Amino acid sequence: MRYLLIIAFAFIWLSTFGCSKQTPPGIPVTGGGTTTPVVSRRPASIGIIGDTANVTKAVNGGMVLMGGGTDVETAFKWMMDRSGGGDVVIIRVSGTDAYNSFVNKIAAVNSVETLKIDTRELANNDTVANIIRNAEMLFIAGGDQSDYMRLWKGTKTEKALNYLLQEKKAPFGGTSAGCAILGGFYFSGENGSVVSDEALANPFASNINLYNNDFLHAPFLENVITDQHYLTRSREGRSIVFLGKIYNDFNLLPKGIAVDEKTAVCIDKDGKAQVFGSSSAYFLLPDANKLPEQFLANKPMVWKQNDKAIQVYEITGSLTGNGNFNLANFSTTEANGGTWFWWNVDNGKLIKLKNINN
């Protein structure tokens, strides 16, 4: 009987421990790359489709600025083609994992995972930061950019995001609020949003809070402020105020990139931008030699400069990408596929004039 007990114990021990081999790191994957096992507990994860093991793939960098509303599927495909078929990570503060199934149907990737990073504790979690760092593509969902600033700025999540942007150079994008924080200059919305009429009437309204290169550091966007839902929410006037306010606050005059809903600006690794989708994107080029004539608290803005205050290039999107604009130098001579305008502000009213000479 004693021998039977010893044999039974040995059989159980071998079954439990001898057969529970762990997959070693560096296992080759079909199609190239290697897999690395990941921890079973994934803080902040609200859903994953695909392989939970990390895969390392070569990436081809690029940026997507999406204007909100209906997502532009071809812009996601543009990013995914640059991901090498690796791991796609969606980050957000609120909402669901709905992007997982949306992205997964577009092209084959190792995995699609959504992280809901809604506390600073999660934003400082090493595992969360490592999931981000291991991504071959990252996308910031819409929401409230003040939440992103409040919860992610100054954390390990911020460092991981900037690692993707600056070092790994993985394809990276954002929509709506996710787009708003990708410019070096950004409107925080921490005191609420601001509409064009309000901003043009008083450029120093208390809800116009702008920040200068203290969060994300995307290639080609250091001297850019973005705006989104542009035509749908009539934000053209407020973006002109943002340009003037940044000059007033920081003595710097940025460029602007504004994107309407159902539209995306896709920027390749060399800074060449095309516009995908069904509406338009706008490239705003103010001139430091032609500054606002009136920019005072509680006074309507005046920025006329003989009706040639700010050059604006409008590109209407298409399914396969339309137009070209070089963000590496913001050259007016290289731009093609769009239309030039002069935008001016006369006593708080925005005026758009087609530029027939450019």
Residue 36's pLDDT is 39
List the beta bridge partners of residue 343.
310, 352
- pTM, entire model: 0.88
Please name the amino acid found at residue 297: A
Residue 13's pLDDT is 40
Q: What is the pLDDT along the chain (358 residues), one digit of tens a residue?
A: 444 444 444 444 434 433 332 333 333 333 333 333 444 579 999 999 999 999 999 999 999 999 999 999 999 999 999 999 999 999 999 999 999 999 999 999 999 999 999 999 999 999 999 999 999 999 999 999 999 999 999 999 999 999 999 999 999 999 999 999 999 999 999 999 999 999 999 999 999 999 999 999 999 999 999 999 999 999 999 999 999 999 999 999 999 999 999 999 999 999 999 999 999 999 999 999 999 999 999 999 999 999 999 999 999 999 999 999 999 999 999 999 999 999 999 999 999 999 866 6
156-163 and 145-152 are packed helices; what angle lies between their axes, rounded to 10 degrees?
110
Distance, CA of 106 to CA of 347 (rounded, Å): 48
Residue 308: closest CA among 348, 354, 258: 354
Task: Judge contact between 144 and 108, C-beta under 8 A.
Answer: no
User: What is the length of the chain?
Assistant: 358
What is the Cβ-side half-sphere exposure of residue 314, based on CA atoms within 13 angstroms? Answer: 16
User: Residue 254, by phi and psi: left (phi above 0), alpha (psi -120 to 50) or beta?
Assistant: beta
Residue 232: closest CA among 258, 271, 266: 258
Distance, CA of 116 to CA of 105 (rounded, Å): 21
Strand-pair category, 310-316 with 280-286: antiparallel
Token pair of 252, please? 């710097």
Residue 35's pLDDT is 36
With 0-12 / 13-18 / 19 or more C-beta atoms within 10 angstroms meaning exposed / middle / buried, residue 276 is: buried
Please name the amino acid found at residue 285: L
What is the Cβ-side half-sphere exposure of residue 255, based on CA atoms within 13 angstroms? Answer: 21
DSSP-derived secondary structure letter, 332? T
Residue 27's pLDDT is 33
Residue 309's pLDDT is 98
Phi, psi of 167 (to 5 degrees): -110, -55
Residue 41's pLDDT is 77
Place of tokens 């290697």: 34
Distance, CA of 203 to CA of 345 (rounded, Å): 12
Chain centroid, CA 309 distance in Å: 29
Please name the amino acid found at residue 25: P
Task: Judge contact between 96 and 141, C-beta under 8 A.
Answer: no
Distance, CA of 39 to CA of 18 (rounded, Å): 21
Token pair of 27, please? 């296992």
